[in-house]
Amino acid sequence: MGFLSFIQENIQMIYLVILMIFVGIELISHVPSVLHTPLMSGANAIHGVVIIGAIIVMGQAEGTLSLIFGFIAVVLGTLNVVGGFVVTDRMLEMFKKKK
Amino acid sequence: MEQILTLIYLVASVTFMVGLKMLSKPDSARKGNLIAAAGMTLAIFATIFLYTDANGNHLGNLSFIFIALIVGTVVGWIMAKRVQMTAMPQMVSFFNGMGGACAALISIIEYNHMVHTSGGDMSGFMSSKGLIILAGLVIGSISFSGSIIAYGKLEGKINDFSLKGQQVANIGLLLAILVVSVLFQMGQISGSAWFFTILGLSLFYGILFVLPIGGADMPVVISLLNSFTGVAAACGGFLYNNYVMLIGGILVGSAGTILTVTMCNAMNRSLLNVLVGNFGGGATGGGGGTTTQGSVKEINKSDTAILMKYAKKVVIVPGYGLAVAQAQHTCHELETLLEEEGVEVKYAIHPVAGRMPGHMNVLLAESNVAYDKLVEMEDINPEFATTDVVLVVGANDVVNPAAKTDPTSPIYGMPILEVENAKNVIIMKRSMKAGYAGIDNELFYRPKSFMLFGDAKDTLVKLVTEVKAL
């Protein structure tokens, strides 16, 4: 069974997943509603970490098709990361304290 | 080398956690974002230069990788810098879709790679690797197509659309994806055509999933899709045994889900209700039971100006209409002018005002409204009794008393701004058209309510002139 062997082979990572679920909940459980939009945008940028997978795939790509797809994947992943962080920064820039 | 990479991934993972934590407090939020960005940059460059596969080979195609990084950076940077503050939500949705597409593409490439290296023998796919590839494909592509539809809706390019029995169709489609995926993974059906069928079905599901959901519920959907992309990224973590991808992905997956639920709570609705029971469905018919009688009173601009100038305390209730008309700067101008006349001015911010929770704060902060003038719902509600004039700018459902009094109303139970307690309520609106929920607003017919028709921005500009002229 794919599913059971999956658990068996990745048990360490599965423990990590469970812990991270709780960390994620804990980290943002007391956010004022003011910060919902920037927080969502910041989290959006963080899942851009998928770009690391795209870089690995691209770095090992052989054949034109894989290269093209890999190239697109890296571009889109970068868009997610760069766009995400810059947009979040622009939103938060406005929260600066008034004298 | 490998040890350094591991260490850097560890550091990056910590920056994500610290960054998210700091993002949840107003004082440290900006720094938190930058810390997470620094961790991300570190992880990206470490991967490029230090990553080695099982045989100790470094990554190739470096020039292509760098070109792709530069293209993505330039385009992403320009888009993020140029976007109007009012268009922020759709921008987030767009970037989220890009992340989803990236995850789906990784799965496609890995699948092709397996097909080529195994010479057509797909028994290798019946492993945990195959499972992960499929999960990344399905979740990534749903997130991609869903986010693009959400983007289009908020941009006003795509209208609400729902089929009869759409919910049944959606559930059927989701089941079809699951069944085909399981059969494919177990080797019961084989061939690349099935793999791409799963891709097509997932993309189609993403479209159908978001299409019927109304514009005002988009933030919830975007937040949900955001956590989907997180999970898709985490799939990459399993695929490459990469802890930073796993941690970053799952953190966003779980934080995003909680954020989604928090947003729903602010509207006093369940997530299921947002996703399935969209307004405008059966609810509207029932809500029509209390057709409000009577007529509304109009007020002109100069009377409004007089009323406000000689008031002691004015509370402005900004809403979706203000965001659409981009009237935040004019609104601030009016506020400053009144303050100079000695009027106390505050803003009442409903948790779901604007296009996204917190969106009003961002917009008003952009036009230099002081942070402490933005008062949240729980704190401002007791103050309405001592308020002389409430100016409602383009908000409707968030001030509808039916949410408190009429159990048949579709918005019954949603916490509202109790503006009806103020001495005068002036409602700026384009027309008598109902708000998003599609229901009449009894507030307009109250004896203390006055309607001021017109575009939010035009009207505010004229009000500023009138106040100056007095």
Mean pLDDT by 10 residues, chain A (99 residues): 74 92 88 82 95 94 90 96 95 65
- Asked if A90 and A47 sit in the same domain, the reply is yes
A11 touches chain B (CB under 8 A): no
Beta bridge partners of B7: none
Which of these is catalytic: B372, B379, B397, B455? B397
Contact state of B43 with A49 under an 8 Å Cβ cutoff? yes
Q: Are A32 and B262 in contact (CB under 8 A)?
A: no
**Which residues of chain A have a CB within 8 Å of the CB of B38?**
none
Distance to chain A for B164, nearest Cα, Å: 33
pLDDT at residue B284, rounded to an integer: 37
The SS3 assignment for B157 reads: coil
Torsion angle of the four alpha carbons B457, B458, B464, B470, in this order, in degrees rounded to the nearest 10: -150
Q: Do A33 and B266 touch (CB under 8 A)?
A: yes
Give me the tens of pLDDT residue by residue for chain B, a chain 470 residues long. Answer: 788 999 999 999 999 999 999 998 888 899 999 999 999 999 999 999 999 988 888 898 999 999 999 999 999 999 999 988 778 888 999 999 999 999 999 999 999 988 888 776 777 777 788 889 999 999 999 999 999 999 998 888 887 777 777 788 888 999 999 999 989 888 888 888 999 999 999 999 999 999 888 766 788 899 999 999 999 999 999 999 999 999 999 999 999 999 898 888 777 777 887 777 554 443 333 333 344 456 788 888 888 999 998 999 999 999 878 887 888 889 999 999 999 989 999 999 887 777 666 778 878 887 888 878 888 888 899 999 999 999 999 888 888 888 888 877 767 777 888 998 999 999 988 877 666 666 778 888 888 899 888 888 889 999 999 888 88
Taking the CA of residue B217 and the nearest CA in chain A, the distance in Å comes to: 14
Is there a contact between B76 and A92 if contact means CB atoms under 8 Å apart? no
Does A54 lie in the same domain as A24? no
Closest by Cβ to A70, choosing from B47, B109, B349: B109
If we measure between CA atoms, which residue out of B323, B251, B89 comes closest to residue A88?
A: B89
- The answer to whether B143 and B232 have CB atoms below 8 angstroms apart is yes
Q: E strands along B126-232, which residues?
A: none
Burial label for A11, CB within 10 Å (0-12, 13-18, 19+), is exposed
Q: What is the CA radius of gyration of chain A?
A: 18
Chain A residue numbers with beta carbons less than 8 Å from the beta carbon of B243 are: 13, 16
Contact criterion met (CB below 8 Å) for B393 and B322: yes
Asked casually if ipTM beats, i.e. exceeds, 0.90, the reply is yes
- Same domain, residue pair A51 and A95: yes
Q: Does A60 touch chain B (CB under 8 A)?
A: yes
Touching check for A64 and chain B: CB below 8 Å? no
Closest-CA residue of A relative to B41 is: A81
Note the pLDDT of residue B54.
82
Residues of A in contact with B85 (CB under 8 A): 90-91, 94
Among the listed residues B248, B29, B232, B251, the one whose alpha carbon sits nearest the alpha carbon of residue A24? B251
* Claim to verify: residue A11 and residue A47 sit in the same structural domain: no
| Mutation for B interface: A64, A79, A98, most B CBs within 10 A | A79
Asked if B37 and A20 come within 8 Å (Cβ–Cβ), the reply is: no
Do A42 and A20 have their domain in common?
no
Active site residue B455: no
Closest Cβ opposite residue B99 in set A10, A50, A75: A50
- pLDDT for B286 equals 37
What's the pLDDT at B436? Answer: 60
Cβ(A75)–Cβ(B71) below 8 Å? yes
- Check residue B250 and give its pLDDT: 96
Nearest residue, CB atoms, A49 vs list B30, B248, B349:
B248
Q: How many domains does chain A have?
A: 2
Tell whether A45 and A89 lie within a shared domain: yes
Residues 23-42 of A with CB under 8 A from B: 23-25, 27-42
Q: Please, what's the largest Cα pairwise distance for chain A?
A: 64
- The token pair at B389 is 């004039």
Asked if the Cβ–Cβ distance from B65 to A58 is below 8 Å, we say: yes
Q: What is the pLDDT of residue B291?
A: 47
Contact yes or no for A58/A75 (Cβ under 8 A): no
- Chain B nearest-CA distance from A35, in A, is 6
Same domain assignment for residues A82 and A42: yes
Question: Closest to B65 (Cβ–Cβ): which among A29, A44, A59?
Answer: A59
- A77 and B36 within 8 Å at the Cβ level: the answer is no
Exposed, middle or buried, A86 (CB in 10 Å: 0-12/13-18/19+)? Answer: buried
Among the partner-chain residues A13, A37, A69, the one whose CB lies closest to the CB of B88 is: A37
Asked if A62 and A82 sit in the same domain, the reply is yes
In whole angstroms, what is the distance from residue B110 CA to residue B96 CA? 22
Q: For residue A8, what are the CA distances in angstroms to A1, B127, B241, B245?
A: 11, 11, 14, 20
Residues A41 and A23 in one domain: no
C-alpha B141: how far from its chain's center? Answer: 19
Q: Are residues A22 and A38 in the same domain?
A: no
**Pairwise CB contact (< 8 Å): A82 & B19:** no
Residues A26 and A37 in one domain: no
Tell me the chain B residues in contact with residue A22 when contact means C-beta distances shorter than 8 Å.
254
Q: What CA–CA distance (Å, rounded) separates B383 from B387?
A: 7
CA distance B52 to chain A (A): 9
Which chain A residues are Cβ-neighbours of B251 within 8 angstroms? Answer: 20, 23-24, 27, 43, 46
Q: Is A81–B361 a contact, with Cβ atoms under 8 angstroms apart?
A: no
Q: Which of A19, A47, A89 to mutate to test the interface with B (most CBs of B within 10 A)?
A: A47
Residue range(s) defining the domain that contains residue A16: 1-30
CB B254 within 8 A of CB B385: no
Give the pair of three-digit tokens for residue B135.
């999960």
Asked if A94 and A72 sit in the same domain, the reply is yes
